[in-house]
Structures are given as structure tokens and as C-alpha cells.
Amino acid sequence: MKEILSDTLTIPGVIGGFFYHRDRGVLAVELPTVFKPDKLEQMARMLLKIFSSGLTNLNGVAEVSICYEETILVARALDENSYLILLCETNVNLELLGMSLNLSLEETLGRVNQQILVDDSPAESPPPVNSLSIMNEQPTLIDNQEDLSAVNSAPLDEVLQGMQNCLAKVIGPIAKIVFQDAVHQWKQYASTDASDFPMLMNMVLSHIDDPDHKRKFQELITDYIEKRL
């Protein structure tokens, strides 16, 4: 599994990825440390719902890509229970990525099946891949509509977008996913007004492990909030 993930990281635009099994959860990860296990589980379950929904009731669909404003999630079904999930930048060459995955999986799927399948069924060749792309046509800050309606304030949404932009300057295109997660936590404990922004900032910092990144984000966000509020 690690071999396949390492191969995909050599493709320009691929940030990282992980293997997921319906019953056993996250199995192998090659992603920045800001991605915690619960976040990976959430991402995987969202993609599995798409695979299971009527959207994928087309013969031969084995890959789904979800295009956000700043990132692309790609999920490849290895069998009915096992998936490879990749996080990519928007400039990734999906055609090149697909061909590379086909080659890598064809060479190593036998070993992967032995590691992640619950039963002892023999390894099979990768299924013919038809892909399904889903575009996020509403470039909102928060993809979860319940989260978005809870803020319900254009001025606050603008400030939140600015805070996310500050984070993007520090950790790159994964900022949107990290910031969404922090905002979701923030709204469970705060009144979601300007007086609670320090709590939100601390929640974002809890997702950043690198000390230099923490310091840079604190500098950027402090300067930004002082100018806006």
C-alpha cells in the first residue's frame, strides 16, 4: 500500500492519499499531519456515500472525483470494500493520474488485496475504470450546508474567508479542508460572532503541527483581524 501511495506522490499536483476499507477504516496514510484520523474517516465516508448512491448506478464506474474550489478529491474503488483516496491540487493532470494508478495497481494489487481484504479470496485485476466527476458549483467557504446557515452573516463569512486565505498562505491548498473542520468545531462551542474569533484561531492552530507554520499563521491572522475588526 505504501508503495502505491509513494508512487502517486511523484505525480505533480498530488498532495497525498490513504487507503480505506469499509470495515477496517483507514489503513495506510501519506498526507500532511494536519489530517487527523477522524477527518480522514469523514472524507472516506462522504465518498463512499457517493459510490453507493444513485449517482454511481452506471455500469463500470470505479472512480469518483469531487472538484472543489481549491482541491480535488479522487477515490478509486479497488473492490467492493476497499478504496484508494487521493487529495490533489486543482492543477493535477487527472488523465496522467488515472494512467499511473492503473499501472501501479496492476503491478501491486495482489499484495494490496492480501493486506486489506477481510476474506482470503484471490487477487483480481483492477476493474475497468469509468470515472464520475462532481463539480462543486457553489464556491462557498463551508461545504456543509448546516454549517453555512449557522453563520448566516455576510460580514462574518467575509472575515472567515479572509482567515482561510491566511491559512492557505501557510499550508497551501489543503487550507480549506482544515479550516472547515475548525469552523465546524468552533460553532459547537461558540456563539459564532467576532468576539469568539480567538477561540476559532486556537482551534485552527490545534490542526497545525509544524511550529513554524503555527507562528506564521498567528502573525498573519493577528494582522488580518486587527485590520478588519
Q: Which pLDDT score, from 0 to 100, does residue 17 have?
A: 92
3-state secondary structure of 75: strand
Tell me the CA distances in angstroms from 109 to 25, 89, 156, 161, one per residue in order: 18, 26, 48, 41
Partnered with residue 66 across adjacent β-strands are 73, 134
Residue 73 lies in a domain: yes
DSSP, res 13: T
32 and 57 both lie in a single domain:
yes
Residue 161 lies in a domain: yes
DSSP, res 60: T
Domain range for 42: 2-135
Q: Which pLDDT score, from 0 to 100, does residue 86 have?
A: 92
20 and 84 both lie in a single domain:
yes
**Count of the separate structural domains present in the chain:** 2
3-state secondary structure of 63: strand
Give the CATH number for residue 123: 3.30.450.30
12 and 122 both lie in a single domain:
yes
Q: Which pLDDT score, from 0 to 100, does residue 118 have?
A: 45
Is the distance from CB of 131 to CB of 98 less than 8 angstroms? Answer: yes
22 and 112 both lie in a single domain:
yes
Q: Which of 104, 135, 166 is the last residue of a domain?
A: 135
* pTM for the model: 0.57
Provide block-wise average pLDDT over 10 residues at a time, the chain (229 residues): 80 91 89 82 80 56 77 85 89 86 71 51 46 44 39 70 88 78 80 77 85 90 79
188 and 82 both lie in a single domain:
no
Residue 140 lies in a domain: no
Q: Which of 74, 102, 135 is the last residue of a domain?
A: 135
169 and 192 both lie in a single domain:
yes
Q: Which of 135, 168, 189 is the last residue of a domain?
A: 135
